[in-house]
């Protein structure tokens, strides 16, 4: 992955995604505002939702307690996958195959959404197509791997059995999901946030929501006392 010399690493440990991108400086909420949708949290979920909603003609605001894309998203593994451990067989057995299918479709949609958005907005975020693996080094878990492959394949996912990884590590078995991805999440989200601003989304940082009153409309109050 390319390392930007413009953003040198600090001497103390820090997330690469944060160290290699500029700090955002969106204003805090300093006056009462009225919107159709208020989103609490400016990570990948919040910013993606804002981007989708504003394109439907809704007036949207994001309320972030710290800085956008700096919490979980700023410290992520940066993988974009439909594979999250051995999850599909578990969902099928504990809930239903229909629910497992819905979960698979949602994850596949997220993958396609990010790819489509990167292309449409010409976002330079080091997006690459990769394979994702879950492996075991113990014989007792081989059957679980096989069960997951069978379930995932039946759900329409590109899952296959392999007995070696693309790097030197001895394993007994692994499930491989093809056509997965990885990217620089901060580069992606900072551009997406700017696109949200361009479309009319209001982004407020340092604006922690401390109270929510349910009703029509909902009233959200920040630590500054603004709503």
pLDDT digits (tens, 9 = 90+) for 27-68: 999 999 999 999 999 999 999 999 999 999 999 999 999 999
pLDDT reading at 1 higher than 60: no
The mean predicted confidence, pLDDT, of the chain is 94
**CATH assignment of the domain containing 67:** 3.50.50.60
94 and 163 assigned to the same domain: yes
- The C-alpha atoms of residue 220 and residue 226 are separated, in whole angstroms, by 8
Q: Is residue 192 part of a domain?
A: yes
7 has pLDDT over 60: no
Note whether residue 14 is domain-resident: no
Regarding whether 104 and 157 lie in a shared domain, the answer is: yes
* Total tally of structural domains belonging to the chain: 2
Question: What is the rounded CA–CA span in Å between residue 54 and residue 49?
Answer: 9
State the pLDDT at residue 6: 60
Q: Where are the alpha helices (DSSP H) in the chain?
A: 16-19, 44-54, 88-94, 97-121, 142-154, 185-198
The half-sphere exposure of 173 on its side-chain side, counting CA atoms within 13 A, is 16
Relative to beta strand 173-182, strand 79-80 is antiparallel
Domain around 122: 79-183
């Amino acid at each position: 992955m390319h390392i930007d010399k413009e953003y040198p690493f600090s001497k103390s440990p820090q997330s690469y995604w944060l160290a290699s991108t500029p700090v955002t400086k969106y204003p805090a909420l300093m006056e009462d505002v009225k919107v159709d949708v208020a989103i609490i949290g400016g990570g990948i979920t919040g910013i993606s939702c804002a981007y989708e909603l504003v394109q439907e003609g809704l007036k949207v605001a994001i309320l972030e307690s710290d800085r956008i894309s700096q919490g979980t998203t700023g410290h992520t593994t940066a993988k974009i996958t439909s594979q999250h451990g051995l999850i599909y067989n578990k969902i099928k057995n504990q809930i239903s195959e229909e629910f497992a299918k819905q979960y698979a479709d949602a994850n596949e949609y997220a993958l396609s959404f990010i790819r489509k958005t990167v292309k449409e907005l010409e976002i330079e975020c080091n997006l690459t197509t990769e394979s994702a693996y879950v492996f075991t080094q113990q014989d007792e878990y081989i059957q679980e791997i096989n069960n997951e492959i069978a379930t995932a394949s039946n759900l329409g996912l590109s899952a296959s059995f392999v007995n070696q990884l693309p790097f030197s590590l001895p394993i007994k078995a692994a499930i491989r999901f093809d056509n997965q991805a990885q990217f620089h999440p901060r580069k992606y989200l900072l551009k997406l946030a700017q696109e949200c601003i361009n479309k009319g989304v209001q982004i407020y940082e340092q604006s922690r929501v401390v109270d929510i009153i349910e009703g029509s409309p909902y009233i959200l109050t920040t630590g500054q006392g603004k709503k």
